[in-house]
């Protein structure tokens, strides 16, 4: 691992001990919107670059899950990538105009369907 990445990782681990566990969603959304707006001058549609980064973060989480399945997993890496992807979901919601109510309804529909499959077939594959 390159030196800068090692330092970032050490800093992340040490900050875990001092950072609050509750999130302030309005602060997160404020910073997130500022980061989207910081790219408005680039000539692309709003959030274009941020959505590219979200795709990269999804890929990074995939890689960590793969490592986990190969017994090469690292809890701090999983935690970091999960945080990146959770924030990425906020970006997608903000940029694509998906509100929490609709997202939560969709999640309920999906889980209800899964529950029905489990009841009917006894397993989900
Ligand atoms: Mg990441």
In-domain check, residue 76: yes
Q: Which range marks the domain in which residue 63 is found? A: 3-98
Task: Quote the pLDDT of residue 1.
Answer: 72
Cα 61 to ligand 1 centroid, rounded to whole Å: 7
Q: What is the domain count for the chain?
A: 1
In-domain check, residue 16: yes
Question: Are the CB atoms for 30 and 36 separated by under 8 Å?
Answer: no
Task: Quote the pLDDT of residue 40.
Answer: 94
Neighbours of 72 (CB within 10 A): 10
**pLDDT beneath 50: ranges in the chain:** none
The pTM (predicted TM-score) of the whole model is: 0.91
Tokens of 24: 């302030």
Q: At what angle do helices 75-96 and 48-69 cross, to 10 degrees?
A: 150
Task: Quote the pLDDT of residue 5.
Answer: 87
In-domain check, residue 104: no
Cα 40 to ligand 1 centroid, rounded to whole Å: 23
């Amino acid at each position: 691992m390159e030196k800068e990445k090692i330092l970032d990782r050490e800093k992340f681990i040490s900050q875990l001990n001092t950072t609050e566990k509750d999130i302030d969603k309005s602060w997160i959304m404020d910073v997130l919107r500022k980061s989207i707006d910081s790219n408005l001058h680039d000539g692309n549609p709003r959030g274009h670059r941020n959505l590219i980064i979200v795709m990269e973060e999804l890929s990074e989480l995939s890689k960590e899950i793969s490592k986990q399945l190969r017994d090469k997993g690292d809890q701090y890496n999983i935690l970091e990538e999960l945080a990146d992807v959770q924030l990425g979901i906020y970006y997608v919601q903000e940029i694509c105009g998906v509100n929490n109510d609709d997202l939560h309804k969709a999640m309920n529909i999906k889980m209800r369907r899964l529950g029905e499959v489990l009841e009917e077939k006894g397993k989900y594959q």
